[in-house]
Amino acid sequence: MMMLTKKMIQIRGLLQTVGQSEALQLPSIVVIGSQSSGKSSVLEAIVGHEFLPKGSNMVTRRPIELTLVNTPDAHAEYGEFPALGLGKVTDFSQIQKTLTDLNLAVPVQDCVSDDPIQLRIYSPNVPDLSLIDLPGYIQVTSSDQPPELKQKIADLCEKYIQAPNIILAISAADVDLANSTALRSSRKVDPRGERTIGVITKMDLVEPERGVGMLSDKKYGLRLGYVGVICKLPQSSNSLFTRGNGNISSAVMKTENAYFSSHPLEFGPGSELEVGTKNLRKKLMYVLEQTMSASLKSTSEAIQHELAEASYEYKVQYNERPLSAETYLAESLDAFKHSFKGFTEQFGRAHVRELIKHELDQQVLNLLAQRYWNKPFDDLSPPLPEPDSLAELPKADPENPLWHLKLDASSASLTKLGIGRLATTVVANALQSQIDGLISSSTFAAHPFARQTITEASANILRDLSYDISDELEICIKPYKYRIELEDSEWMRGRENISRVLKEELRVCGEAIKHVEVDVGGSRKMKDVMAFIDRVRNGQVVLEGNGIGGAGGFSAALLQKGREAVFLRDRADIIKMRLLAVKSKQCASKKNKYYCPEVFLDAVADKLTTTADLFLDAELLSKFYYSFPRHLDTRLGRNLSPADIDRFAREDPKVQRHLDVVRRKELLEHVLKEMEGLRQLEIRGAGGRRGR
Ligand code: GDP
């Protein structure tokens, strides 16, 4: 018979994991009583341990859903707080402390909370029971308590003592039953006394006759009757058990036996009255079993109803597409790896080359501006005389050491730039941003955890690889630091390429000038301010304080813009001039390299690029392409616990809803099957009992 309660308690635990609806509440025993009525003492006597919060002030602020699980073959007794994930707590004073902390965490202004604390206690010494301990009723609020506390406790209790729950109404023998708040409350919801068990505590504090009178009370007759108990621990054993870890049941029973057997007339074997914690336990087990059994049919129906709803949602919303957190992760990972593979097939040496060459083109332009095109001044002061100005370049004498020095220094600047580090970083950054792009267009976009994991994986691999690769690449380009030999074809390619680069630069300058024009507020205004700046630079106007407070009727900001425009115009002029030079016959042959530093430096950059792209393709790309998917398998596969995977999948609200429906449906199906099994057992049992 007791199987039923055990099973139902298991089912209750399962239903809790999917969030029970009101309809799925399984009956439980709800314990109510006034403060100091001895409510905690009764519960502790049933459990056999002191574990409830104690203190003169009200400490129970949240309902405690106490599930007792009988483990006949086990020796150990322990508690578990399923919501906290603390694991098995074998020290009952620790359970007491946790409960106290959880209660104290309820803000004082809230008084009480109806969010229950779930506590399971496993022991060979407890019966299978499901009890809910509620805050004790208070008569008057003390000065340090909010005035609405009394009402809030009453409301909370009223919510819990509804059918089909059984009410365990605790009253102390030394208080008149007519004044028992517990009985008064239960009477309101159970006027015929059909699901209330009366418990009279502190029987030792009143004369036996008075105790007898209370236990046989007819004013509020209870179908399930009254039980008299004495749950006070004997003084001698009290100190022994203060740490809460010894079993107190036998001590309590000893006290009760001593008292009740010393009053055989009232409580002896001939008496009809029920006394003692032992009997109370038996009664609770029996009544809960009966109530569970009676609710089997209605609970089954409620589950069927919920299941129908879940199945409907599954069908309509999700087209009955099965989903689990694991399959979701596996599919997402596969899809991501697939898109990565696609990327690796199209991103190869040619892309690496383009990236590096583009970077070096910019470096070449910078070098040229620094060493050759040093005409424009980003300043308002008059230009200094420039001896080896650009205009002299076509006339450069191949024997003149100045032009040799200039070109050698420029080429050395390029080769000693730290190409190893630069090229590796450029390519690694490009790979990283490609990975970011792949993540954004994958299902992982909606998953911060996976996003971070993947980004970290690629960043770590790239960082580790880059470290050695940039050094090795630097060694590969070392020969160019000493000597650079150019083929004719290389010269030709350089000439073509630098023309393209210069044209592009010219276009960029043009765009930038247009932007400045818009900023300034039109071409006329820009021309005026540029003309003024030119006059300053030609020494026709003397500027005081470098124009910080504005000058010539122009504000400082406008002068700044004008300066930008002049700089861009001069740069564009130079580039136009150099474009003509590069296209001229003189630059057609590598023999005239001193006239054409642009072509020469481009050809050098091209040589460096060829070495770098070959090396990075072989080292960085192929190693990264190999490692990355493997790292993903580890980080998003093997390294994740089922809880991690679940958390991951639930990051996406859509997936979470889908998973919830699937899980709810599966669980309800499972529970329903169990319930049907129990009903069959019940029907057979009832048949057997009738047959006897
Ligand atoms: P609660 O506030 O309703 O939880 O009451 P407690 O269980 O904390 O008990 C209040 C006081 O009554 C404590 O000092 C207990 O030791 C005492 N007490 C509880 N049960 C009995 C009993 O059966 N007999 C006697 N004499 N005292 C009891």
What is the per-residue pLDDT across 352-367, written as a single tens digit (0 to 9) for each?
Answer: 999 999 999 999 988 8
Q: What is the DSSP letter of 551?
A: B
| Any atom of ligand 1 within 6 Å of the Cβ of 39 | yes
The secondary element (H helix, E strand) that includes residue 94 is: helix 92-104
Instruction: Output the residue whose Cα is nearest ligand 1's atom 24.
Output: 202
180 alpha carbon to ligand 1 midpoint, in Å? Answer: 15
Q: How far, CA to CA in Å, does 122 sit from each of 85, 246, 247, 288, 662?
A: 16, 15, 14, 18, 31
| Any atom of ligand 1 within 6 Å of the Cβ of 171 | no
| Any atom of ligand 1 within 6 Å of the Cβ of 310 | no
| Any atom of ligand 1 within 6 Å of the Cβ of 665 | no
pLDDT band per the 50, 70, 90 thresholds, residue 74: confident
Q: Give the max Cα distance, the chain.
A: 136
322 alpha carbon to ligand 1 midpoint, in Å? Answer: 55
Ligand 1 atom having least distance to the Cα of 44:
7
Contact 266, 115 (CB under 8 A): no
530-558: pLDDT as tens digits: 999 888 888 787 776 666 667 778 888 88
| Any atom of ligand 1 within 6 Å of the Cβ of 63 | no
190 alpha carbon to ligand 1 midpoint, in Å? Answer: 26
Query: Tokens standing for 400?
Result: 């003149």
CA-closest candidate to residue 503, choices 350, 360, 352, 361: 361
| Any atom of ligand 1 within 6 Å of the Cβ of 136 | yes
Cα separation of 508 and 530, whole Å? Answer: 19
| Any atom of ligand 1 within 6 Å of the Cβ of 53 | no
Contact 679, 7 (CB under 8 A): no
Instruction: Output the residue whose Cα is nearest ligand 1's atom 1.
Output: 36
Contact 585, 577 (CB under 8 A): no
Contact 64, 20 (CB under 8 A): no
Cα separation of 636 and 581, whole Å? Answer: 58
Instruction: State the residue for tokens 């190409």.
Output: 419
Query: Tokens standing for 635?
Result: 């980080």
334 alpha carbon to ligand 1 midpoint, in Å? Answer: 63
Query: Tokens standing for 285?
Result: 């087990």
Hey, CA dihedral for 101, 21, 130, 183, is it positive or negative?
A: positive
Task: Using most ligand atoms within 8 A of CB, pick from 36, 46, 204, 205 the residue to mutate for ligand 1.
Answer: 36
Q: What is the pLDDT of residue 377?
A: 47
197 alpha carbon to ligand 1 midpoint, in Å? Answer: 19
| Any atom of ligand 1 within 6 Å of the Cβ of 27 | no
CA-closest candidate to residue 423, choices 366, 481, 363, 371: 363
Residues 6+ apart with CB under 8 A from 209: 266
Contact 32, 169 (CB under 8 A): yes
Contact 80, 29 (CB under 8 A): no
134 alpha carbon to ligand 1 midpoint, in Å? Answer: 16
Is residue 92 packed enough to be buried (19+ CB in 10 Å), middle (13-18) or exposed (0-12)? buried
Query: Tokens standing for 360?
Result: 């070096």
Predicted-assembly ipTM surpassing the 0.85 threshold: yes
Cα separation of 613 and 556, whole Å? Answer: 47
Helix 277-318 and helix 3-17: axis angle, to 10°? Answer: 40
226 alpha carbon to ligand 1 midpoint, in Å? Answer: 18
| Any atom of ligand 1 within 6 Å of the Cβ of 134 | no
Q: What is the pLDDT of residue 219?
A: 86
**Does 236 have pLDDT greater than 60?**
no
Q: What is the pLDDT of residue 545?
A: 65
Ligand 1 atom having least distance to the Cα of 33:
3
Residues 6+ apart with CB under 8 A from 591: none
Cα separation of 152 and 157, whole Å? Answer: 9
403-455: pLDDT as tens digits: 788 888 889 989 998 999 999 999 999 999 999 999 999 999 989 989 999 99
- When the pLDDT of each residue in the chain is averaged and rounded to a whole number, the result is 88
Query: 101 vs 382, which has greater pLDDT?
Result: 101
Pairing of strands 196-201, 226-228: parallel
